């Protein structure tokens, strides 16, 4: 028994001596570890490293702390630091400390800010010379944890403010192993404001070309408050997947907004989109290769870009849009006040949209222009539709007694929307017995109409009067309004507001020789 006890005593004592030797050796190597951390970061990230303080505690486990860690890209001394960390803590076991490479279970970062440089390390949009994926580092960490960090995308354009994202929580595995690093992140997107949750893998880091570092995963974009963008509102959710590299991220996703609305009308419509895009992760510029959207009974497709503007906060949106078989009432519900759209009918549009960056309301910045066609158009307002039906019957020399026909029109023209005013050019619509050319403006906010046009009828003025005594006397003025080989031409004007439009003959133009 005494021999057994003695033997165990020797084993325990020997073990303690080994532990004490490791601890003593680790303690004596604090300066060596400090330099190893600096050398590893300088080599891996091609950066100049500043480290304010560094200490090592090896009992009962290894606990290394540091403060004031700053990394600056060697090729961009004029740019903000790539990384700043207010303090950090490395935790692991004694065996991991003395092994090769040194291994730690966790690193916890406090006050992390990441500044992503534009266009790779040289900032010129080209890959850096000698860019390469590097192997295992001298220090390997199983898991990184960072709470309340900041990600800033430094723009390519001088004088433009960086785009800043609040990272609520970031975890990353297998740091320093030279392989892809699994990660999870929860980030607040600033505009429109909402919560992004992403999960995927990043890396390995491309030394000499950070923008070329691989990236892939999936995301959800929840609780998005569109009212943080002036002029629009609604609650949006989005899901999708991404892949590629940091300066060219291919994104495929979809969005759902059950109550999307423009401030100018206030009418909510359900909006769903699917998109394929390329995002430059170094400045947030987005290139939309394929967008399809559906609201109510209308679908559209679009291509374009969302890019930064020099000296202006925010992004400029440029799109080319096509509607092949939509409904005019859906578009009018979106942009015109009231629950009863002015017109119904099948809609086709070819147009371009430009939404410059800036703090103003969306409708004050929005510029849209293009060509449109509306087939089988009918006016929703009974009074307006009655006038159109009346015009059609008179144009054919019929007596407009009961308006049995609910006359449909085919409407087409060019349009331009800017400064909240919709301008119509080269507008024309046809109804049985007549064609109408029309142009003018409509104020989306004021709802004021100011249109002028020309009505060409099959009938003459006297025939349009419906015959009788009135038609007899009007035969005298038929030559004034009649074009050789055709019926009458009447210059018209439309004034007033959308609720009570005033139709009338433009007498001045009617009496002017043509």
Map out the domains of the chain as residue ranges.
30-253, 322-510
Contacts of range 11-17, beta carbons closer than 8 Å, 24 or more positions apart: none
pLDDT in the model for residue 21: 43
Q: Which of 405, 454, 441, 412 is nearest to 429 (CA)?
A: 412
What average pLDDT does range 288-300 have in this prediction?
A: 95
pLDDT in the model for residue 513: 53
pLDDT in the model for residue 115: 85
Q: How far apart (Å, rounded) are the C-alpha atoms in residues 183 and 14?
A: 42
Per-residue pLDDT tens for 360-414?
Answer: 888 788 899 999 999 988 877 667 777 777 777 777 777 665 554 566 678 899 9
462's torsion region: left (phi>0), alpha (psi -120 to 50) or beta?
A: alpha
pLDDT in the model for residue 6: 42
**Angle at CA 96, nearest 5°, toward 93 and 101?**
155
Q: How far apart (Å, rounded) are the C-alpha atoms in residues 110 and 75?
A: 26
Per-residue pLDDT tens for 183-205?
Answer: 999 999 887 889 999 999 998 87
Chain mean position to CA 59: 52
The helix (H) or strand (E) run that includes residue 423 is strand 421-431
pLDDT class of 471 with cuts at 50, 70, 90: low
Determine if the pTM surpasses 0.85.
no
More confident residue, 136 or 475: 136
- The fraction of the chain above a pLDDT of 70, given in percent, is 78
Beta bridge partner(s), residue 409: 377
411-to-258, 432, 436, 486 alpha-carbon distances in Å: 31, 13, 9, 22
Per-residue pLDDT tens for 70-82?
Answer: 999 887 777 788 8
- Asked if pLDDT for residue 15 goes beyond 50, the answer is no
SS (H, E, C) 254-284: EEEEEEEEECCCCCCEEEEEEEEEEECCCCC
Per-residue pLDDT tens for 136-158?
Answer: 777 888 999 999 999 887 766 66
203-to-42, 103, 211, 374, 417 alpha-carbon distances in Å: 17, 19, 11, 52, 46
Per-residue pLDDT tens for 75-126?
Answer: 777 778 888 999 999 998 877 777 778 888 999 999 999 887 765 444 444 4
pLDDT in the model for residue 14: 42
Structure tokens, 444: 């989306």
Report helix angle 2-28 to 30-45, nearest 10: 60
Q: How far apart (Å, rounded) are the C-alpha atoms in residues 118 and 103?
A: 33
Positive or negative: CA dihedral 302, 308, 309, 314? positive
Helix (H, G, I), strand (E, B) or coil at 471: helix
The helix (H) or strand (E) run that includes residue 200 is strand 193-202
pLDDT in the model for residue 22: 46
122's torsion region: left (phi>0), alpha (psi -120 to 50) or beta?
A: alpha
pLDDT in the model for residue 261: 92
pLDDT in the model for residue 485: 59
What average pLDDT does range 337-355 have in this prediction?
A: 88
pLDDT class of 466 with cuts at 50, 70, 90: low
Assess contact for 481 and 461: CB atoms under 8 A. yes
């Amino acid at each position: 028994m005494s021999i057994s006890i003695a033997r165990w005593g020797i084993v325990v004592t020997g073990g303690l001596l080994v532990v004490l030797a490791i601890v003593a050796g680790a303690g004596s190597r604090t300066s060596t570890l400090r330099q190893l951390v600096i050398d590893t970061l300088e080599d891996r990230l091609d950066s100049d490293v500043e480290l304010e303080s560094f200490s090592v505690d090896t009992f009962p486990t290894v606990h290394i702390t540091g403060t004031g860690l700053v990394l600056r890209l060697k090729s961009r001394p004029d740019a903000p630091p790539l990384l700043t960390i207010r303090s950090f803590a490395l935790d692991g076991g004694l065996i991991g400390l003395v092994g090769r490479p040194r291994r730690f279970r966790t690193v916890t970062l406090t006050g992390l800010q990441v500044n992503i440089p534009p266009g790779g390390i040289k900032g010129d949009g080209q890959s850096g010379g000698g860019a390469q994926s590097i192997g295992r580092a001298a220090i390997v960490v199983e898991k990184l944890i960072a709470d309340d960090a900041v990600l800033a995308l430094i723009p390519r354009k001088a004088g433009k403010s960086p785009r800043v994202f609040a990272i609520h929580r970031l975890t990353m595995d297998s740091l320093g192993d030279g392989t892809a690093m699994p990660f999870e992140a929860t980030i607040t997107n600033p505009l429109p404001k909402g919560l992004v949750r992403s999960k995927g893998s990043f890396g390995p880091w491309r030394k000499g070309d950070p923008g070329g570092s691989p990236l892939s995963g999936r995301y959800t974009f929840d609780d998005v408050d569109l009212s943080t963008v002036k002029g629009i509102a609604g609650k949006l959710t989005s899901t999708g997947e991404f892949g590629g590299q940091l300066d060219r991220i291919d994104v495929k996703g979809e969005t759902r907004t059950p109550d999307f609305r423009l401030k100018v009308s206030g009418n909510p419509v359900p909006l769903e989109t699917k998109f394929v895009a390329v995002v430059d992760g170094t400045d947030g510029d987005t290139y939309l290769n394929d967008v399809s959207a559906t609201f109510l009974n209308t679908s559209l497709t679009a291509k374009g870009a969302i890019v930064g503007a020099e000296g202006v906060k925010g992004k400029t949106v440029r799109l080319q849009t096509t509607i092949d078989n939509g409904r005019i009432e859906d578009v009018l519900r979106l942009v015109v006040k009231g629950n009863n759209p002015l017109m119904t009918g099948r809609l086709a549009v070819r147009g371009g949209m430009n939404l410059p960056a800036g703090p103003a309301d969306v409708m004050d910045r929005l510029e849209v222009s293009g060509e449109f066609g509306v087939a089988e158009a009918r006016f929703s307002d009974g009074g307006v539709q009655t006038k159109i039906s009346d015009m059609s019957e008179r144009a054919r020399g019929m007596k407009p007694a009961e308006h049995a026909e609910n006359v449909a029109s085919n409407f087409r023209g060019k349009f331009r929307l800017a400064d909240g005013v919709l301008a119509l050019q080269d507008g024309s619509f046809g109804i049985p017995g007549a064609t109408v050319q029309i142009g003018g403006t409509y104020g989306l906010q004021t709802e004021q109409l100011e249109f002028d046009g020309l009505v060409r009828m099959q009938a003459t003025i006297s025939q349009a009067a419906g015959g009788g005594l009135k038609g007899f006397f009007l035969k005298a003025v038929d030559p004034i309004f009649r074009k050789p080989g055709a019926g009458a031409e009447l210059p018209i004007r439309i004034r007033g507001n959308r609720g009570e439009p005033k139709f009338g003959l433009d007498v001045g133009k009617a009496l002017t020789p043509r």
